[in-house]
Amino acid sequence: KNEVEQSPQNLTAQEGEFITINCSYSVGISALHWLQQHPGGGIVSLFMLSSGKKKHGRLIATINIQEKHSSLHITASHPRDSAVYICAVPRGAQKLVFGQGTRLTINP
């Protein structure tokens, strides 16, 4: 079992729907990253958070350190949100361990 698990692996929704992607990890961490990989392959860092909640536009990330769980929410989803969303946790000073990714497809 991977130490970072995401669910669901695939998610298809209609434009406008509220989206939730979950990430669970098995060891204690001080921060968690959410990344977005575009269909063309580029990877962009969305959030790095260590507690509570962060919001950027229609994206909201939450983390519960005690429960070892984080969620990424997208409000009013749009087809341009279609991408793979990846959570990652640090393991040591210079290493990230990644989840397997959630492939999100938003249909118009």
Partner 1 sequence: DTAVSQTPKYLVTQMGNDKSIKCEQNLGHDTMYWYKQDSKKFLKIMFSYNNKELIINETVPNRFSPKSPDKAHLNLHINSLELGDSAVYFCASSPTGQPGNTIYFGEGSWLTVV
Q: How many residues bind partner 1 (CB under 8 A)?
A: 27
Rg (CA), the chain: 13
Of residues 1, 28, 42, 67, which one binds partner 1 by CB under 8 A?
A: 42
Least Cβ distance, residue 60 to partner 1 (angstroms): 18
Residue located via tokens 């939450």: 62
Nearer to partner 1, 29 or 61 (CB): 29
SS3 state of residue 90: strand
Q: Is 98 in the site for partner 1 (CB under 8 A)?
A: yes
Type of residue numbered 26? S
E strand segments, 4-82: 4-7, 10-14, 19-25, 32-37, 43-49, 52-56, 59-64, 69-74
Q: Which stretch binds partner 1 (CB under 8 A): 11-19, 55-63, 70-78, 97-105?
A: 97-105
Helix (H) or strand (E) holding 102: strand 102-107
Of residues 14, 26, 45, 64, which one binds partner 1 by CB under 8 A?
A: 45
Interface with partner 1 by CB under 8 A: which residues?
A: 29-31, 33, 35, 37, 40-45, 48, 50, 84, 86, 88-90, 92-96, 98, 100-101
